[in-house]
Structures are given as C-alpha cells and as structure tokens.
Structure 1
Amino acid sequence: MTPIKDTHPSASSAVESGAPGARVGNFRWVICGLLFFATMINYMDRQIIGVLKPQLSHELGWTDTGYANIVSAFQLAYACGYLFGGRLMDRFGVRRGLSWAAFLWSVAAVAHGLVRTVLGFSIARLGLGLAEGGNFPAAIKTVTEWFPLKERALATGVFNSASNIGAIVCPLTVPLLAAKFGWPAAFYITGALGLGWIVAWALLYDSPETHPRLSVAERAYIEEGRVVTTEAAAPWLSLLRFRAAWAYMIAGLLAGPVWWFYLFWLPDFLQKRYHLTLQQTGVRVGIVYTMAIVGSIGGGWLAAKLIGRGWSLNAARKTSLLVCAVCVTPVFFAASVENSWVTVALVGLAAAAHQGWSANLYTFVSDTMPKRAVSSVVGLGGFVSGIASMGNAQVVGYVVTKTGSYALIFAWASTMYLLSLLAIQILVPKLVDARENERRVVTDDGTSV
C-alpha cells in the first residue's frame, strides 16, 4: 500500500481559476452536523441510567455495588466495541459501519425498558456498549476524511460538544418522562431517535471523493496537501510501531475514566452530598454539561487559532492540551465545599476542560496517523480507556461504600490530565505529520503496505 501523489487541485488554485463553483462551500459542516446528532443520541442513551439511578435503586432494590456492576458491564462492552468498531470502520467505511452501529445501539436502548433485574440491565448495557463503541472511531475517521488539518480540532470539538448536549437534555427531560409515563418510556424514546437518525445518514452521507452535493472547490479545499492512499486497513501490529499510538492509549488509560466518573456517578454524588431531589440534581448536572459544551468547542477553537497565528502544529496542540489539563486541577476540592453551586462550578470547569482536552486528543490521532489507520488507533485507545473505566467503576463503588465520600475520587481526577500530557511529551516530543506516517505503516512481516 504505497502513497499516491495527490492529483486534486488545491483550494486556492480552484478559487483563483474562477471555475464554476470555485467558492469554497460549507457542505462539510452538514456532515459534522450529522455526527453531532449521532453523538447527542449516543450520550442520551448511555446516561439515562445514571439519571434514573436513585429511582431505580429504590424501586428495584439496587445497591451501589450492583449499580457498579451494571456500569462495568457497559464499559467492558464499550471498550470492545471501540476496539473492533474502529477496525470495522477502517475496513468497511463509515457509511455502512455507523448505520449498523446506530441501529444496534437503538435496539439495545429500547431493551432497557423491558428488564427489571441487575442481570437484565447488565445484558442490555452489554449490547448498548458494544454498539455505541463504534460512534467515536467512525466520527473521527469522518472528520479526517471531510476536513482539512487546520479545521479538524474545531470540527471534532463541534461534534463532540453534542455529548454535552445529550448530557444536558437527558437530566432535564428524563425525570419528566419518568414521572409522566414511567421510567421505561425514556429508553423507548431515545431508541426511536436513533432509528430516525439512520434515515438522515443514509440520505445525506457519502465519501467526499464521490459526494454529488460537494462542490469542486470545497472538495479541493478538503483534500489540499493530503497524501491519497489505497484504503485497506493497516494491520494492528503495525500501529504499535508508532509512539503516537502509545501516547494516545496511555492518555486514554489515565484520563479517560474521569469522564465516565462524571457521567455515571455525578448525579448520585450531588444527591447524596447535598440531599437534592431528582429534579434539582438534573438542573445542576445540566449546568455542568452546558459548561462542557463551551470547553469542547473552545478547545478546538484554541488550537485552530494558534495554528492560524503561525504556531507549529506541535506547539498549538500541546499548548491546548496543557491549558485544559491545568483547568481540571481545581476539581480536587469538589467534595469538600459546602455549597452545591460551588461544586457545580468546579466540576463544570473540569468537565469543560475534559472536553477541550478530548477535542485535541482525538485530533492528535488524525494529526499523526495515516488516514486508513485513524479509526483503528482511536479504537485501540478507546479499548484501553474502557477497560480502565470498568475497573475504575468498581473502585468508585468500593470507595463510596466504605468511606461514604467522593473526596478520594475527585483528588484522583484532578491529576490525571497533567500525567497524561507528561506521557505524551515523553513519547512524542514533536508531532510527526500524518503525511509522513503514511509512508511508515508496515505490515507484520515488515513489508510496506
């Protein structure tokens, strides 16, 4: 698999030529919009159980340990779904792959409303996790294919902000649905949303090389400076030759579980620590994720702004990561303050910083890895993060049960991003552009691919 010289004209030459359609269009942002809504639905499906945890614990007799087992089932499946979903996206493409993933996670979401035991919920969570694991590898691969390098962090931040929209909509609407129609209805409705999204994806998505709605100028703008290769997926073992792949996996191992802690345990923490109602908790969780939206888009914007000002890719990406890592550290005090709104501010800042971090960390993969390997590397990192998050759920359940406090957990969360950035800097002191790495992917026996 050897690189092929890019024969497409540059965007600038297309514009200068005065050819019809020379003005660079914005259809790529329609594709980003589709990713946005897929991610929003994806997060609503997974977070419902965290919002309903107090009610389900009361009605169905769950313990914190039982809930931890349900969470761990999802995270184990999600890790595997990330790993193999990323591989399948690289092999079969995102048009088919993401459609099937959305169909399967929608069916699994509906199944939650049909079960009543810890075992039943664990099985439903296994199915949900396996299918949902394909979303982010597919989305990052889509951004790599549809956006030029300088816009990728921003595009990633935009679609990734939908995870926060989903996390806001969920605690604000699910308690109302549960009160009026019963808790199973919440699972049925979000499952139906996923099925509706599949129709829109089928109607609007195609690859940028062949999409009939993409102008010549916008296609050239997307492909400017890109090395075009054949599309066979790179072998897994060949990816482990890249320090960038290891750096991404270590960052996922250290910082990835923090987000899952917020997602699945924050409502429980707020309710127990400040004795809030389900609706009061929902409002506070919604504010946390509203702040996270700003961080998601802001993190991508910061990197794009620095690159636009002439900063090197290495300096812009790592400075953005450093800013986000530093902003997480005040969450150390979240469990010790007496005012719930101060806690919301601290956790909201940390959540915003995490999302800005994620926008740049995901883009770090497309910065450094060949296009045909992006989903596979994202999948490897997601697998590592998911396994770590599964273990972390057990630790959180144990610590909360034994101590009755979340203080140790917040202390742990405050340090993981700086440690992750240190690992990235040690392994990848200078980012190697993906165009160079296109020439370095080799097969397991050492021959070029």
Structure 2
Amino acid sequence: MSYRRGWIAVFLFTLAMINYMDRIALSIAAKPIAAEFKLSAVGMGYLFSSFIWSYALFLIPMGILIDRFGAKRMAGVGIFIWSAATALTGAAGNFTSLLLARLVMGGGESVSNPVGAKVIRQWIPASERGMVTSMFNSGSYAGPAICSVFLGALVAVYGWRFSFVVAGGIGFLWLAAWLLFFNSPDKAKWLSVDEREKIVRERDSKPAARNTSVTADAGQTASGLLSLLRSPTLWGLALTQGCNVYTQYLFLTWLPSYLQASRHMSISKTGVFAAVPYAAAVILCIVVGRISDHYLKKSGVGTGRRRNAVALAMLTGAAILAVPFTTNLAALLLVFSVTLTGIASTTSLNFALLNDLLPSSKDVAKAMAFVVVGGNIFGMIAPIATGYVIDATGSYDYAFVIAGALLVLGAVVVLTMTRRPIVAEPKSPRVQAAA
C-alpha cells in the first residue's frame, strides 16, 4: 500500500481507537461508579448496555445520511457529539445524568462503522481491502488496550470523573485533523495523479455474478435499503456479526469487573492485564487481514471465499469456552489473547466480505449500518444477560459458555447464508400484484 493512501488507514484506525476508548472508559471506572451510585451487577449491566441502545437506533439513519452527504461531514458531526458526551459524563451527578450522557455518546458513535466502510470503498483498491479493513477494525482493540492502562492509571490517581474529560478531549484533536486533511480521492490535493487513477480504477471490483441480475454497471446503481433487505446474504452477514459482537461486548463491558471480582486484581493491575490480549489482537488482526487478501489474490474478492476465513476466525474465538477451566493467569492471558484475536479478525473479515459481495458503492454505508445493527442487537443483550447470569449464579462461567456457543453458531451461519452477491431482489409476483 502506498504511503499517501496509507494516511487514510491511519485516520480510520484512530477513529475506531477513540471510539472504543470512550466506550470502555465506563468499564475501567465501573468499580468506583458502582460504589458511588450504589449499583448492583444488574444495574451496571443496564448501564454498560445503554449506549448501544441509541447506537443501534441511529445506525441505519446515519448510514443513509452518509451515503447522501458524504463521510467527511457526517464523521465530523458524529465525533463532535460523542466526544462532548464522553467529556460531560465526568460531570454526571446521578444515575439518570450518567445514563443520558451514555445515550448521547452512543448516538454520535453510530457514524463510525458506516463511515469506515464508505471511506474504504472510496479510497482502497479491492486487492487491499481486507488488510485496510483489518487496520480500521484493529483500532477498536487498540482503544481498549491503551485505555485499560492509561485511563486505569487516571482513575486510580485522579478519580473516575477526570478520566472521562481526558477521553472526550482526544476526540476533538482527531476532529481537527480530519476537517483539515480528509477529502474524497478526486478532491484530495495531497494525492498524486497516478495514485488517484489507481484508486479509481481498482476500488470497484465486482462480485462474481451468479445470476443475470448482477449487471456490469451494478457498481454505479444505488438501491434502497428495503430492496437490499430481500437478499439473504445481507441477513447472514448481520447474524454473523451478532454472534461475534456478543463476545466483543462481554469483554468490553465485563472483563475489568471479572478480573477484579474473580481474579482479585486491583484497578491498575486489571488495566495492564487486560491491555495485553487487546494489544495482541491489534497486531494479529492486521496480519489475518493481509493473509485473507493473499488468499483471494487468484480467485478474486468477488467469489465470496473470504467467508471461509470468517468462519475460521469465529472458531478461533470460541477458545473462550476454555475460560471456566483455566486457573493459571498466564494460561488465562493466552486464552483471552486467542479469543480477542478471533473476534477482532471476524469483524474485519465480515466487513470486508460485505464490500466483496456488494456490487454498488452507493449502497455501502446503509448496508454496513444494517450489518452493524444486527451485531449490536446482540451486543446490547450481552452486558445485561451477563449481569443476570452473575446475579443468578455468582459466577462468570456460564457467560463465557454462552459467548463461545454463539461463535460456533456464527461460523455455521456465515458458511451457509452468504453464498450469493448482495443485489436488490425483485419483489415477489404477489407483492407486485398488490402494488
């Protein structure tokens, strides 16, 4: 990948990193917040889940707006809102204001994944899509890795309120750089003519057609979301994402509490321990993405063969099933590292598979939004379900078993439901007659 379009990968990596720093900030500060507001495990589960409610609600509208108004404008609006909400979380005086701040943050963060998919489709040649998507997604693991250590230290020394102010401030720095430097390839003055031509020429490799409805100019034709929803493949990708995201949010929301309650670690030690598997996932996720691009080099991305890599990554993530049987901390660190690498790779590969199977570049943001909604329906359940499991059993073991079972199920779904390109399916004769 050339140096100049490599800056786009840096923008996307840091966008996802800041996004997840702000998400996990609450988990890092969970113990003092629960003590201050007198919250039970069930209460914390609802609080952990709250930002996902607004996040999922706004994803599809944001995807439509991004397809219409562009990534630059909508990403700027989104990160401004969520960074301000994160900073203001530190001023929360009661549970209600804390909950409200998280809801506003979630609404702002709904731009992140649709923007990432749109920018990748605009800027990145299809042969590099897997690696750059992995770099974008790996930011969502770099965020928790950095946040676990950095914000953990801030909470321990300065208290939980100050940590939210710092986390929110970082987003405003990213926003300034984004508004100053980012643009589409045809408008970016810092891009060379040769590189611009390469991007435009190679970014829209078409999925392999299995029926005559996939035309040569499909990449230039936009479809409505309702038309896309008639494609079983889009539903398969959304279900796959859901089975994977459940585990991601289990880690994102409950891992620090698990380490403190079950492994008897302090807040600062929890941060260091949790950072290691997240850091491993950052590096290995990018490696897996590069391997997937190499795997598809001969057959082409349009064959959809990337689904095999998605399934393999999910089965790797199912290593979480070993957690209840792991007593040694070194072994536990290895299991967490393997699991997080598996689920990180699944997300990036699933996102790349969506772009592989979607003929129209004009549908990317809305299709991505739907897949992410599917993921976050499961994601919003994970913190709440885990809270109830802990409250009912006094243990985290069953929470890990549920997560592992869903990863195995997701591998089956992606292998069976993503066999065709995502094209707007015609209405059934009965529907047409009714119309």
Alpha-carbon offset, residue 302 of structure 1: 1.6
> Which range moved further: 125-134 or 205-214?
205-214
Cα distance in 2 for residues equivalent to 1:307 and 1:396: 38
Work out which of the residue numbers 211, 228, 244 in structure 1 matches 2:188.
211
> Which range moved further: 220-229 or 97-106?
220-229
Question: Residues 303-318 of structure 1: matches in 2 within 5 Å?
Answer: 303-308=292-297, 310=299, 313-314=302-303, 316-318=305-307
Cα distance in 2 for residues equivalent to 1:39 and 1:56: 25
The change in CA–CA distance for 1:312 and 1:235 in structure 2 (over 3 A counts) is closer
2:84 aligned with 1:93: no
Alignment match, 2:60:
83
> Which range moved further: 335-344 or 284-293?
335-344
Cα distance in 2 for residues equivalent to 1:49 and 1:428: 36
Alpha-carbon offset, residue 203 of structure 1: 1.1
Specify every segment of 5 or more residues in structure 1 that has no aligned partner in the other structure, as ranges: 1-23
The change in CA–CA distance for 1:230 and 1:301 in structure 2 (over 3 A counts) is closer
Alignment match, 1:420:
410
**Does the 8 Å contact 2:92/2:98 carry over to 1?**
yes
Alignment match, 2:201:
224
Amino acid at match of 2:136: F
2:329 aligned with 1:340: yes
**Does the 8 Å contact 1:109/1:190 carry over to 2?**
yes
Alignment match, 2:264:
275
Alpha-carbon offset, residue 100 of structure 1: 0.3
**Does the 8 Å contact 1:91/1:232 carry over to 2?**
no
Cα distance in 1 for residues equivalent to 2:219 and 2:356: 19
Report the 3-state secondary structure (helix = DSSP H, G, I; strand = E; otherwise coil) of the residue aligned with 2:91.
coil
**Does the 8 Å contact 1:95/1:202 carry over to 2?**
yes
Question: Residues 123-272 of structure 1: matches in 2 within 5 Å?
Answer: 123-225=100-202, 226=204, 234-272=223-261
Identity value in percent: 25
Amino acid at match of 2:129: R
Alpha-carbon offset, residue 320 of structure 1: 1.5
The change in CA–CA distance for 1:443 and 1:193 in structure 2 (over 3 A counts) is farther
Alpha-carbon offset, residue 354 of structure 1: 0.7
Alpha-carbon offset, residue 78 of structure 1: 1.4
Alpha-carbon offset, residue 296 of structure 1: 1.8
**Does the 8 Å contact 2:311/2:412 carry over to 1?**
no
Amino acid at match of 1:93: G
Alignment match, 1:388:
378
CA shift digits 1:73-122 (9 cap, x unpaired): 11111111322222221111101000000100011101110103222211
Alignment match, 2:351:
362
2:47 aligned with 1:56: no
Report the 3-state secondary structure (helix = DSSP H, G, I; strand = E; otherwise coil) of the residue aligned with 1:241.
coil
Report the 3-state secondary structure (helix = DSSP H, G, I; strand = E; otherwise coil) of the residue aligned with 1:209.
coil
Cα distance in 2 for residues equivalent to 1:91 and 1:441: 22
Question: Residues 400-439 of structure 1: matches in 2 within 5 Å?
Answer: 400-429=390-419, 431-432=420-421, 437=423
Alpha-carbon offset, residue 233 of structure 1: 5.8
Work out which of the residue numbers 293, 297, 317 in structure 2 matches 1:328.
317
Normalising by structure 1, we get a TM-score of 0.87
The change in CA–CA distance for 1:116 and 1:339 in structure 2 (over 3 A counts) is farther
Specify every segment of 5 or more residues in structure 2 that has no aligned partner in the other structure, as ranges: 206-216
> Which range moved further: 243-252 or 255-264?
243-252
Alpha-carbon offset, residue 243 of structure 1: 2.4
Alpha-carbon offset, residue 270 of structure 1: 1.2
Amino acid at match of 1:336: F
CA shift digits 1:214-252 (9 cap, x unpaired): 222212221225377898963220111222211111112
CA shift digits 1:169-212 (9 cap, x unpaired): 11101122123332211111111111111110111111112222
Cα distance in 2 for residues equivalent to 1:84 and 1:195: 23
Alignment match, 2:43:
66
| Pairs aligned (count) | 417
2:20 aligned with 1:43: yes
The change in CA–CA distance for 1:59 and 1:340 in structure 2 (over 3 A counts) is farther
Amino acid at match of 2:416: I
Cα distance in 1 for residues equivalent to 2:247 and 2:69: 32
> Which range moved further: 50-59 or 221-230?
221-230
Report the 3-state secondary structure (helix = DSSP H, G, I; strand = E; otherwise coil) of the residue aligned with 2:29.
helix
Alignment match, 2:289:
300
Alpha-carbon offset, residue 311 of structure 1: 6.7
**Does the 8 Å contact 1:295/1:354 carry over to 2?**
no
Cα distance in 2 for residues equivalent to 1:240 and 1:312: 22
**Does the 8 Å contact 1:60/1:116 carry over to 2?**
no
> Which range moved further: 328-337 or 353-362?
328-337
